[in-house]
């Protein structure tokens, strides 16, 4: 026997969801996970909000249940927290590159000088 189950999401004003209701068809004894995408509308960072979901279906009688959940608002962390380290790093790499190019040029000039001295002797 199949049941048409309605799942409704109740959020505080600080949170929002594109879908607030979903309908799921379940076979007898079947379990399914229902997910809602919730986004921050005006919630405070590092705070928690209680959300409610009602689940209901009819099978000669009306069945309903309410479940609670908790949404924690966390600050999104970036891979590079800021560019304050990136600029000195680029500057350092440029200096190292220039140093090795100058060192290579000096080594080539010394080699040429030794060659010219050996030709004179």
In this predicted structure, what is the pLDDT of residue 119?
Answer: 63
In this predicted structure, what is the pLDDT of residue 81?
Answer: 60
User: Do residues 8 and 56 both lie within one domain?
Assistant: yes
User: Do residues 66 and 93 both lie within one domain?
Assistant: no
In this predicted structure, what is the pLDDT of residue 56?
Answer: 95
User: Do residues 87 and 47 both lie within one domain?
Assistant: no
In this predicted structure, what is the pLDDT of residue 79?
Answer: 62
Range list of H helices, the chain? 86-120
Domain containing 121 equals 78-121
The CA distance from 111 to 60, in Å, is: 98
In this predicted structure, what is the pLDDT of residue 88?
Answer: 83
In this predicted structure, what is the pLDDT of residue 21?
Answer: 96
User: Do residues 66 and 87 both lie within one domain?
Assistant: no
Count of domains observed in the chain: 2
User: Do residues 64 and 99 both lie within one domain?
Assistant: no
Phi/psi at 117 (5° precision): -70, -40
User: Do residues 114 and 98 both lie within one domain?
Assistant: yes
User: Do residues 58 and 12 both lie within one domain?
Assistant: yes
Could you identify the residue written with the tokens 């500057």? Answer: 91
Average pLDDT, 10 consecutive residues per value, the chain (121 residues): 93 94 92 92 91 93 93 77 76 93 89 73 60
């Amino acid at each position: 026997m199949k049941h048409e189950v309605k799942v409704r999401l109740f959020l505080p004003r600080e949170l929002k969801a594109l879908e607030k209701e979903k309908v799921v068809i379940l076979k007898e004894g079947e379990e399914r996970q229902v997910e809602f995408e919730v986004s921050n509308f005006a919630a405070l960072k590092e705070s928690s909000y209680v959300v409610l979901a009602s689940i209901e279906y009819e099978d000669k009688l009306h069945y309903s249940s309410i479940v609670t959940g908790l949404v924690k608002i966390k600050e999104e962390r970036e891979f590079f927290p800021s560019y304050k380290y990136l600029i000195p790093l680029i500057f350092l790499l440029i200096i190292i590159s220039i140093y090795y190019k100058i060192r290579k040029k000096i080594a080539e000039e010394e080699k040429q000088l030794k060659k010219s001295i050996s030709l004179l002797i």
